């Protein structure tokens, strides 16, 4: 072993459970021990890790605030020479703060209050927290570390730059709970590189991992060198301990580069002062470690892992073991079945086929083949007799009226009732199988195929459903999803020869229009300018607008796009405005 002037840091990329204070505490202590065994000088945990993120209205419960602060105190008492940075909720008589505690040698040395509170998309932090006002720099015998929390690193001219330029920080440590959406890993990497190069510092970004209701946190924590290279990175969608030796002497030249000096000279510190906490760590003789750099994944791989993690955590964190779903022979229910298999294991998935007189033979045989491929339990429960019984009961009231969507929806609601019967009797969680394309335009039956406690594909467009199925077949090396499912024309099979395109534009077109209208908030005119037919665009926009009442009653689902229904995109149900 050799004496070193490096500082070894650890980023504990962990999966918190909101409200599980003792469980989260145990994880903290376990990973503190792991970092100590790796001879680390500092370990950091994600944003609000003690209570889990986001705690939402738990923040209004004074007992909850006191309990999590007591947990913080217990953790602090078990610290030794290794510095620990841990996210928690701080508070006083008047204010509540999103905070980071710096602990060492049995006590809390310093506290940082998050300065930039996000209040957009899925974030409501201004509802709960008061913004901090003073950046924090740790001075470890001349090696200086700036502390910040999540949004702080995203805002130019904020605390991290003040810590680098006014506080002389060599490393910017950001603890975060940044939820996933597609391409988010690359977006973060680009940002951290720009921050590192601009400030001439190492940027260490530690992100939460795990599913919390509609949100999935993807981890992918990173440590970036001032030259923009990645020094270390965490696993995507898994817990990890990221270790890195920070070469103190190597960093000095980067602070004197012309571009960094120019940035420092032009920086106007918006804060009244910077807190400085002086700490020491014992010198160590230790072998250097080899840090791991992981490439950004292909899109299908990252979305698939996000869906598996979000589903697994929703099921387990809410106390379920097994799930059930209606397996129709279509591509959506096929993908949900495979996701459930991969998330929970074959023994915990029960697929129920509920054919009617309108179901094709292929749909039934394709469903059976899929369940054989996955080795999961398959229940076949025809609904024709139940459906005929309903029609008989309603005959006198419907006499003389043509069959229409009423009879179609009856079939969907019979299936939903049967699935909920299994749920009530055996404690299985029902999964809804609708995709974002259908949910957007209301091509789904409320209290029917929308029945379920969780909706894994709620934010997944139809064409991405196909891509994910083909991705899963590719990594399996054979057709887990039978090719017949992937090539048949989509159909609800609620009347003879029914096809989705009888009611909707082709999904290739529909998905592009929806992405523009729902995610980018473009007007009908702007979408038409892209080359789409005005009548089709107006129809799609109207369907999106008038079906808000359905979406408000839908099961929660996993966010994978920048603008998902639910916590993200919030529109009034009663709304007479129509896009033009």
Is 17 buried (19+), middle (13-18) or exposed (0-12) by CB count in 10 A? middle
Interaxial angle between packed helices 462-476 and 299-317, expressed in degrees from 0 to 180 and rounded to the nearest 10: 90
Out of 150, 161, 438, 559, pick the active-site residue: 150
Residue in 150, 301, 188, 323 with CA at minimum distance from that of residue 237: 301
Helix (H, G, I), strand (E, B) or coil at 264: helix
Give 381-419 as a 3 state SS string.
Answer: CCCHHHHHHHHHHHHHHHCCCCCCHHHHHHHHHHHHHHH
Secondary structure percentages of the chain, helix, strand, coil, to 5:
40, 20, 40
Q: Which of 512, 524, 487 is nearest to 436 (CA)?
A: 512
The answer to whether 188 and 205 have CB atoms below 8 angstroms apart is yes
Residue 559 annotated in active site: no
Considering 51, 69, 114, 559, which one is annotated as catalytic? 114
Calculate ∠ Cα 22-26-27, nearest 5°.
120
146 closest CA partner among 250, 45, 256, 274: 274
Catalytic annotation present for 385: no
Three-state DSSP state, 365: helix
| Among 216, 18, 45, 16, residue whose Cα is nearest residue 122 | 216
Can you read off the two tokens belonging to residue 49? 């890790």
Residue 202, beta-bridge partner list: 171
Residue pair 173/244 in contact by the 8 Å Cβ criterion: no
Mutual angle of helices 331-344 and 462-476, in 10-degree steps: 50
**CB neighbours of residue 227 within 10 Å:** 12
Count of alpha carbons within 13 angstroms of residue 514, beta-carbon side = 29
- Tell me whether residue 114 is one of the annotated catalytic residues: yes
Q: Among the options 47, 125, 161, 438, which is catalytic?
A: 47
- Residues 211, 218: Cα–Cα separation, whole Å: 9
Closest CA to 169 of 116, 89, 228, 246: 246
Of 54, 43, 220, 206, the C-alpha closest to 123 is: 54
CB 12 within 8 A of CB 207: no
Kindly report whether the peptide bond that precedes residue 82 is cis, defined as omega within 30 degrees of 0.
no
Q: Which H/E stretch holds residue 204?
A: strand 202-207
Token duo for residue 362: 């292929």
Residue 431 DSSP class: B
Range 73-92 burial, b when 16+ CB lie within 10 A, else e: eebbeebeebbbbbbbbbbe
How many residues are given for the chain? 580
Structure tokens at 483: 């090719």
Annotated active-site positions, please?
47, 114, 150
């Amino acid at each position: 072993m050799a004496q070193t002037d490096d500082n070894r840091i650890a980023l504990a990329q962990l999966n918190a459970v909101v409200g599980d204070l003792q469980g989260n505490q145990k994880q903290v202590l376990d990973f503190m021990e792991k970092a100590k065994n790796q001879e680390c000088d500092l370990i950091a945990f994600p944003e609000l890790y003690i209570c889990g993120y986001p705690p939402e209205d738990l923040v209004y419960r004074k007992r909850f605030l006191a309990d999590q602060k007591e947990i913080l105190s217990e953790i602090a008492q078990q610290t030794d020479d290794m510095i620990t940075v841990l996210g928690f909720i701080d508070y006083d008589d008047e204010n509540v703060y999103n905070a980071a505690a710096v602990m060492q040698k049995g006590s809390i040395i310093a506290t940082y209050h998050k300065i930039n509170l996000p209040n957009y998309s899925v974030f409501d932090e201004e509802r709960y927290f008061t913004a901090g006002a003073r950046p924090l720099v740790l001075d470890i015998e001349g090696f200086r570390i700036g502390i910040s929390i999540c949004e702080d690193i995203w805002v130019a001219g904020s605390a991290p730059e003040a810590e680098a330029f006014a506080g002389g920080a060599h490393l910017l440590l950001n603890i975060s709970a940044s939820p996933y959406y597609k391409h988010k890993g690359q977006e973060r990497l680009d940002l951290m590189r720009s921050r590192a190069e601009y400030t001439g510092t190492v940027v260490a970004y530690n992100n939460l991992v795990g599913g919390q209701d509609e949100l999935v946190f993807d981890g992918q924590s990173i440590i970036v060198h001032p030259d923009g290279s990645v020094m270390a990175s965490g696993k995507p969608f898994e817990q990890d301990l990221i270790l890195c030796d920070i070469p103190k002497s190597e960093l000095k030249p980067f602070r004197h580069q012309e571009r960094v000096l120019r940035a420092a000279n032009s920086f106007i510190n918006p804060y009244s002062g910077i807190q400085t906490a002086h700490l020491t760590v014992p010198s160590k003789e230790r072998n250097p470690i080899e840090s791991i750099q992981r490439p950004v994944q292909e899109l299908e791989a990252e979305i698939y892992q996000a869906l598996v993690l979000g589903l697994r955590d929703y099921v387990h964190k809410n106390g379920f073991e097994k799930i059930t779903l209606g397996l129709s022979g279509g591509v959506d229910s096929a993908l949900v079945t495979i996701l459930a298999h991969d998330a929970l294991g074959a023994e915990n998935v029960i697929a129920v086929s509920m054919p009617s007189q309108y179901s094709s033979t292929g749909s039934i045989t394709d469903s059976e083949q899929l369940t054989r491929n996955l080795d999961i339990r398959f229940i076949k429960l025809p609904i024709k007799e139940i459906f005929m019984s309903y029609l008989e009961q309603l005959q006198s009231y419907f006499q003389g009226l043509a069959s229409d969507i009423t009879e179609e929806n009856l079939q969907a609601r019979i299936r939903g009732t049967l699935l909920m019967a299994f749920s009530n009797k055996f404690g299985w969680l029902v999964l809804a199988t609708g995709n974002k394309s259908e949910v957007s335009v209301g091509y789904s039956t409320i209290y029917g195929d929308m029945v379920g406690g969780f909706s894994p594909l709620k934010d997944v467009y139809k064409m991405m459903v196909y891509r994910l199925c083909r991705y899963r077949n590719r990594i399996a090396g054979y057709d887990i999803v039978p090719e017949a499912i992937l090539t048949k024309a989509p159909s609800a099979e609620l009347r003879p020869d029914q096809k989705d395109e009888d009611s909707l534009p082709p999904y290739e077109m529909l998905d592009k229009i929806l992405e523009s209208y729902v995610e980018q908030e473009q007007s009908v005119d702007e979408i038409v300018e892209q080359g789409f037919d005005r009548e089709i665009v107006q129809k799609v926009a109207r369907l999106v607008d008038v079906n808000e009442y359905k979406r408000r009653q839908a099961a929660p689902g996993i966010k994978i796009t920048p603008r998902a229904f639910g916590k993200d995109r919030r529109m009034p149900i009663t709304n007479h405005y129509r896009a033009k």
